[in-house]
Amino acid sequence: MKALSAHLAASLVLLCSLAAAQAQGADTAPMEAAPGFTHLGVSSCAQSTCHGATTPWLTSPIAQNEYFAWRDHDPHSGAYRVLTGDKAHGIAAQLGLKDAAQAPLCLGCHADNVPVAQRGHHFKLEDGITCETCHGGAQKWIGVHNLPDTDLSTLGDKGFYPTVQLQSRATLCSGCHELGRHGADHRLVSAGHPQFPEDLAAYLEKWPKHYTVNASYIARKHPPAPELLNGQITLLQANDWAEALAHSTADPHGLMPEFSFFQCDNCHRSTHEADAHSTGQPRLNDAAVRRLIDSNVIVDRSRRQELQGRLNALNAAVLHGNRQEYGNAAAALYQSLKAAVAAADANR
Ligand code: HEC
Ligand code: HEC
Ligand code: HEC
Ligand code: HEC
């Protein structure tokens, strides 16, 4: 951190310890696409006659080389490995954790950290974010998902996660890529963890995929159009931010919400800036909600106006510094966003 005025720094000491206390109780539950099913492990998917072909099959609509595409090109396959490196050791040490590769806080996003009772014989935590982290524990569907007359969309009750479906896909990816998820908070970034993306939809587009969206894929699967998917992610990111903020303000033990809800440069700024000494009141980092309002994701104009009004009220409440008003405004904004998410669901 470059410079904090002495006054602000002093008042922040108290806030830091409160934020730390909050983080202890944070939800570090593992990411689980479809909860409750046994995860067999990557080797169960990777045989050469399954998804471990070295070259794409010409006789099948599915390339069958997904395992190598994932292993060699998808950063998710190395997500556990980074927990054993120097950078992770440094982050863990800052947080007082003995071993990042064993800490639930880190494993929640960097591995397929399902409960031990759900780990099959070939399951290995070291495999990182695996096929089953996203597609669901395979025990009940592995034997049927490849039969010629199986309709994949009917395998949900066997634990097959609908990765192709709009809301499910957006929920899956944002589950590990947003600040506020799985216990990721200001403590985590201040310990040196990479920052989480501001514009999540644009970030997720960079994902190196293990499937090809061509005419055959579209005819088979009817995937959501990319702009619909991006819109859904933008909507979800705003909703998740407001939800986390509303929960945080509802916590009677917190003096104010977690630092990560505020604009980073309110507290972290360079001494060269002209206004470096006028610290003022931290402003909320409401970019996710503003991006949603400015986009055309929400078609209904009155709904957008309602959101803008509630966001204005929230920002005013933050400036007043009144905790009760602040909490109420956060809850009201979250209610509006939840309604917008529900309306989007109903339209599809
Ligand atoms: C909310 C999910 C989440 C949690 C919790 C989390 N991480 Fe991460 N981590 C990520 C994501 C996403 C990235 C990729 C960021 C990027 O490159 O854009 C990442 C990247 C990293 C990197 C950089 C990897 C590289 O390729 O350079 C390290 C190191 C790391 N995390 C360590 C940790 C440690 C240690 C913990 C626990 C103290 C932890 N992470 C907790 C999601 C998480
Ligand atoms: C980060 C999440 C994630 C991981 C990890 C992952 N997948 Fe996927 N996979 C997806 C998404 C999203 C799609 C696209 C939606 C769809 O077709 O269901 C997909 C599509 C597929 C498809 C469909 C291809 C087609 O043409 O219909 C196959 C097969 C597949 N994955 C197999 C695997 C295998 C095998 C692994 C592990 C080696 C794996 N996936 C790992 C998320 C993931
Ligand atoms: C279980 C948590 C988890 C889920 C679910 C997940 N990711 Fe990730 N993702 C991570 C972590 C952790 C990393 C960093 C891995 C590393 O650095 O080795 C990462 C890395 C990435 C990167 C790499 C960014 C870069 O710097 O190259 C992209 C893009 C990405 N994920 C997109 C997606 C998409 C798209 C989905 C959904 C289909 C998804 N992720 C689902 C945890 C997750
Ligand atoms: C309300 C003020 C406040 C806000 C807002 C804030 N921080 Fe901090 N930050 C602090 C304080 C105080 C410290 C030093 C104490 C600590 O580590 O918790 C700190 C420490 C850090 C550090 C460690 C710096 C170092 O040199 O050790 C990083 C990195 C960091 N913050 C990143 C961020 C990011 C990224 C954001 C926005 C998501 C953010 N902060 C928002 C007050 C803030």
At 302-334, the pLDDT tens digits run 999 999 999 999 999 988 878 889 899 999 999
Q: Which of 23-27, 142-146, 200-204 has the lowest mean pLDDT?
A: 23-27
Write down the pTM of the prediction: 0.89
Whether 333 lines ligand 1, by a CB cut-off of 6 Å, is no
> How many angstroms separate the alpha carbon of residue 54 from the centre of ligand 3?
24
The domain limits of the chain are 1-26+225-348, 31-165+178-200
Whether 207 lines ligand 3, by a CB cut-off of 6 Å, is yes
pLDDT of residue 255: 53
pLDDT per residue as tens digits for the range 58-71: 778 888 899 999 99
Ligand 2 atom at minimal distance to the Cα of residue 45: 35
Pocket test for ligand 2, best of 54, 66, 160 (most atoms within 8 A of CB): 66
Mean pLDDT of 214-219: 93
pLDDT of residue 250: 78
pLDDT of residue 256: 63
> How many angstroms separate the alpha carbon of residue 170 from the centre of ligand 1?
19
pLDDT per residue as tens digits for the range 118-147: 999 999 999 999 999 999 999 999 999 988
Could you tell me which of 313, 266, 299, 268 has the C-alpha nearest to residue 285? Answer: 266
Q: How confident is the model at residue 57 (pLDDT cuts 50, 70, 90)?
A: confident
Instruction: Looking at mean pLDDT, say which of 49-63, 287-301, 313-327 comes out highest.
Output: 287-301
Pocket test for ligand 4, best of 186, 241, 248, 256 (most atoms within 8 A of CB): 186
Q: Which of 233-247, 261-275, 276-290, 294-308 has the lowest mean pLDDT?
A: 261-275
- pLDDT exceeds 50 at position 29: no
| Interatomic CA distance for residues 191 and 64, integer angstroms | 40
More confident residue, 130 or 280: 130
> How many angstroms separate the alpha carbon of residue 295 from the centre of ligand 3?
24
| Interatomic CA distance for residues 301 and 228, integer angstroms | 18
Task: Tell me the Cα Rg of the chain.
Answer: 22
pLDDT of residue 31: 47
More confident residue, 1 or 209: 209
Max distance between CA atoms of the chain, in angstroms, equals 70
- pLDDT exceeds 60 at position 20: no
pLDDT, mean over the chain: 85
User: Residues 76, 207: contact at Cβ < 8 Å?
Assistant: no
Q: How confident is the model at residue 44 (pLDDT cuts 50, 70, 90)?
A: very high
The Cα-based distances of 250 to 185, 253, 254, 329 in angstroms read 17, 9, 8, 11
Q: How confident is the model at residue 254 (pLDDT cuts 50, 70, 90)?
A: low
HEC sequence for the chain:
CCECCHHHHHHHHHHHHHHHHHHHCCCCCCCCCCCCCCECCHHHCCCCCCCCCCCCCCCCCCCCCHHHHHHHHCHHHHCCHHHHCHHHHHHHHHCCCCCHHHCHHHHHHHCCCCCHHHECCCCCHHHCCCHHHHHCCCCCCCCCCCCCCCCHHHCHHHCCCCCCCHHHHHHHHHHHHCCCHHHCCHHHHHCCCCCCCCCHHHHHCCCCCCCCCCHHHHHHHCCCCHHHHHHHHHHHHHHHHHHHHHHHHHCCCCCCCCHHHECHHHHCECCCCCCCCCCCCCCECCHHHHHHHHCCCCCCHHHHHHHHHHHHHHHHHHHHCCHHHHHHHHHHHHHHHHHHHHHHHHCC
